């Protein structure tokens, strides 16, 4: 294994030409006669020659690999992003390297390593929360960076985002029109940008519709299934019960379902539930979950195309914030 590999020098020797000619023949460069080229190609094939991409990348200063940094790889939402990014980049001749930031402590570290390693030509970073250090790190762009982030405060990089705020208002509006007046809300993590905006959207629309918000109906969640379940348990302790629960993401909505089932409540007859994200599972819950569909495919596609355009220098415009569409998917849960 790892036996000494065939290189262009070896081919050059056998073909009685210089390594430059071999390089040219192999890279499809024009300045080689048909005969020389076919002779070289034949020998290369016979020796099962494979170019050392590492050497090539090294000299060219370009690897055709993009890096994708995620907080946590297993999350379903993220895996859809991975697929979308990978599909898009592959079509443009790029590989995707997926890097979990393995906990927040190392997010900045991961970004820094990747930025300066020369292993990736560009970076897509999925951000759940943003602080100054992260922003500074991302802005120190040795290579192009695109962030997928709820926080759209401008930095020195492109941002692909979802309209959390408006979608959240849409939800409240929909509920209001359906006749729901008593709405409970399960919040996401306090530092999560998406969660913050969704919460703000909820509050603002309630205010606009003059819905009074019972403070006991605003629960703290953490975007996990269990968090949603516990929040709902807590909610059900109150004597007065809401008519519907708005969970800031679908995973918590699933937790909601569990709690409600265990406590003997029927959805939507006794209490309605609405979520946010439209993860795969949502459609197959009983009853199917009404939710906001976040188009992860577009999210990943936009991010990748933007990044590759930046890498290739095809896009030298000012850094942008691009908003991907959402859509209210009405199913059976409210």
Partner DNA sequence: ATGAAAGCGCTAACAA
Partner DNA sequence: TTGTTAGCGCTTTCAT
311 binds DNA (CB under 7 A): no
Q: How far is the CB of 114 from DNA (least distance, A)?
A: 16
115 binds DNA (CB under 7 A): no
Would you give the DSSP letter of residue 331? -
Distances (CA, A) of 268 to 241, 245, 265, 281: 14, 10, 9, 18
Distances (CA, A) of 334 to 164, 177, 180, 181, 287: 20, 11, 9, 13, 9
The answer to whether the beta carbons of residues 171 and 329 sit under 8 Å apart is no
The answer to whether the beta carbons of residues 299 and 81 sit under 8 Å apart is yes
List the single partner that 27 binds among a second copy, DNA, none, CB under 5 to 8 Å by kind.
Answer: DNA
Segment lying near a second copy (by CB under 8 A), choices 38-46, 81-89, 197-205, 235-243: 81-89
Which residues ranging from 113 to 142 are in contact with a second copy (CB under 8 A)?
115-119, 141-142
Output the six-digit token pair for 136. Answer: 């500074």
Element (H, E) at 310: helix 296-311
Helix axis angle for 225-237 and 250-262, nearest 10°, is: 50
Which residues ranging from 29 to 48 are in contact with DNA (CB under 7 A)?
30-33, 35-37
Applying CB under 7 A, which of residues 1, 59, 105, 314 lies at the interface with DNA? 59
Which residues ranging from 307 to 326 are in contact with a second copy (CB under 8 A)?
none
Burial of 318 (0-12, 13-18, 19+ CB in 10 A): exposed
Rounded to 5 degrees, φ, ψ at 21 are -65, -40
Positive or negative, the CA dihedral 104, 105, 107, 108 is: positive
Q: Which residue lies nearer to DNA by CB, 21 or 282?
A: 21
CA distance 246 to 173: 12
Which residues ranging from 216 to 235 are in contact with a second copy (CB under 8 A)?
225
Segment lying near a second copy (by CB under 8 A), choices 32-40, 89-97, 127-135, 231-239: 89-97
Applying CB under 8 A, which of residues 127, 146, 285, 299 lies at the interface with a second copy? 285
Q: How far is the CB of 286 from a second copy (least distance, A)?
A: 4
254 binds a second copy (CB under 8 A): yes
Which residues ranging from 11 to 30 are in contact with DNA (CB under 7 A)?
16-21, 23-24, 26-27, 30
50 binds a second copy (CB under 8 A): yes
4 binds DNA (CB under 7 A): yes
The answer to whether the beta carbons of residues 326 and 281 sit under 8 Å apart is no
Segment lying near a second copy (by CB under 8 A), choices 109-117, 125-133, 198-206, 325-333: 109-117
CA distance 66 to 94: 7
List the single partner that 324 binds among a second copy, DNA, none, CB under 5 to 8 Å by kind.
Answer: none
Distances (CA, A) of 245 to 224, 236, 276: 16, 11, 12
264: left (phi over 0), alpha (psi -120 to 50) or beta: left
Segment lying near DNA (by CB under 7 A), choices 2-10, 122-130, 240-248, 299-307: 2-10
Longest distance between any two alpha carbons in the chain, whole Å? 91
82 binds a second copy (CB under 8 A): yes
Which residues of this protein are in contact with DNA, per CB under 7 A? 4-5, 7-9, 16-21, 23-24, 26-27, 30-33, 35-37, 51-52, 55-56, 58-60
Which residues of this protein are in contact with a second copy, per CB under 8 A? 1-3, 5, 50-55, 57-58, 61, 63, 65, 72-74, 76, 78-80, 82-83, 86-87, 90, 95-100, 102, 112, 115-119, 141-144, 225, 254, 257-258, 261, 280-281, 284-286
């Amino acid at each position: 294994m790892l036996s000494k590999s065939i290189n262009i020098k070896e081919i050059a020797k056998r073909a009685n030409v210089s390594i430059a000619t071999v390089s040219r023949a192999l890279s499809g460069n024009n300045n080689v006669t048909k005969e020389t080229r076919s002779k070289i190609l034949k020998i290369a094939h016979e020796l099962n020659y494979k170019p050392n991409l590492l050497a090539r990348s090294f000299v060219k200063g370009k690897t055709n690999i993009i890096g994708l940094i995620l907080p946590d790889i297993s999350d379903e939402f993220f895996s859809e992003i991975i697929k979308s990014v990978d599909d898009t980049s592959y079509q443009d001749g790029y590989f995707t390297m997926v890097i979990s930031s393995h906990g927040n402590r190392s997010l900045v570290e991961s970004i820094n390593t990747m930025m300066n390693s020369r292993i990736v030509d560009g970076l897509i970073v999925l951000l759940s929360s943003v602080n100054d250090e992260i922003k500074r790190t991302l802005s120190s762009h040795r290579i192009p960076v695109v962030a997928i982030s709820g926080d759209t405060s401008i930095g020195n990089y492109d941002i692909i985002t979802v309209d959390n705020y408006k979608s959240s208002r849409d939800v409240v509006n929909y509920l209001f029109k359906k006749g729901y007046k008593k709405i409970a809300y399960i919040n996401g993590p306090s530092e999560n940008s998406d969660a913050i905006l969704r919460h703000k959207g909820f509050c603002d629309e309630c205010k606009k519709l003059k819905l009074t918000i019972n403070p006991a109906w605003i629960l703290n969640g953490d975007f996990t299934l269990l968090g949603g379940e516990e929040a709902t348990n807590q909610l059900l302790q109150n004597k007065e019960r809401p008519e519907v629960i708005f969970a800031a993401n679908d995973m918590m909505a699933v937790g909601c379902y569990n709690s409600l089932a265990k406590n003997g409540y029927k959805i939507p007859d006794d209490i309605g539930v609405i979520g946010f994200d439209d993860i795969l599972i949502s459609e197959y819950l009983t009853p199917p979950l009404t939710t906001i569909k976040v188009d992860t495919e577009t999210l990943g596609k936009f991010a990748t195309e933007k990044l590759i355009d930046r890498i290739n220098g095809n896009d030298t415009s000012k850094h942008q914030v691009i908003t991907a569409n959402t859509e209210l998917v009405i199913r059976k849960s409210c």
